[in-house]
């Protein structure tokens, strides 16, 4: 049994030695490939207010002899959205990568944008950072600016209310109407003659 186990172990290690692969050869770099040269590869927003303008622009130049074609640019998260030129950037020509950061999010941030192209220095990683401060809350006319402290609790003696029964008495009302005398006066007119 031991001999069989030893034979299988030797056989397995022999196959493992022959199964080694040769390392992959990196593709040859095109000597005529262009180079993207950025004026700066990091932008610090500094401290900005919530919902402030989150747009920034990275400028670059094609320092090669062939056009630069950007295949994609993507942010490190959904809050960082890049926009890049879809048309080729000719030799000596300038291009821009625009980045929009969602400044509704409060707090410090550090994000990146990866740009893939046919350039020698592809991929290029651009960085943005800064701090977003929460907007100040202004109280409205219906909101008190100072909330009063609750009044201290006091104990008051409980007085038990007692009520005496009320006797309802009503005297019968006698309705009397006096007969109305109708009087008519008759006056005789005096006639005078002259």
pTM confidence score: 0.56
- Show me where the domains of the chain are located: 36-133
Whole-number average pLDDT of the chain: 78
| pLDDT band per the 50, 70, 90 thresholds, residue 117 | very high
52 - beta bridge partners?
A: none
Buried b / exposed e along 58-72 (16+ C-beta atoms within 10 A): bebbbebeeebebee
Fold of 36-133: Immunoglobulin-like (2.60.40)
42-49 and 124-133 as β-strands: parallel, antiparallel, unpaired? parallel
Contact 79, 105 (CB under 8 A): yes
Tell me the per-residue pLDDT of 80-113, one tens digit each, with 9 for 90 and over: 999 999 999 999 999 999 999 999 999 999 999 9
Tell me the per-residue pLDDT of 34-49, one tens digit each, with 9 for 90 and over: 999 999 999 999 999 9
């Amino acid at each position: 049994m031991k001999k069989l186990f030893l034979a299988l172990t030797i056989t397995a290690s022999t196959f493992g030695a022959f199964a080694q692969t040769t390392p992959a050869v990196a593709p040859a770099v095109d000597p005529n490939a262009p180079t993207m040269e950025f004026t700066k590869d990091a932008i610090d927003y500094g401290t900005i207010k919530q919902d402030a303008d989150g747009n920034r622009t990275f400028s670059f130049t094609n320092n090669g002899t062939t056009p630069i074609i950007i295949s994609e640019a993507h942010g490190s998260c959904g809050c960082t959205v890049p926009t890049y030129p879809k048309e080729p950037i000719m030799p000596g020509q300038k291009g821009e990568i625009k980045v929009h950061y969602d400044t509704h999010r409060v707090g410090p941030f550090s994000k990146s944008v990866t740009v893939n192209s046919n350039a020698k220095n592809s991929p290029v990683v651009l960085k943005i950072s800064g701090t977003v401060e929460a907007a100040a809350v202004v109280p409205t006319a219906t909101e008190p600016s100072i909330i009063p402290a609750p009044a201290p609790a006091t104990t008051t003696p409980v007085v038990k209310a007692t009520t005496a029964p009320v006797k309802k008495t009503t005297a019968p009302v006698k309705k009397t109407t006096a007969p109305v005398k109708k009087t008519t006066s008759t006056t005789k007119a005096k006639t005078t003659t002259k």
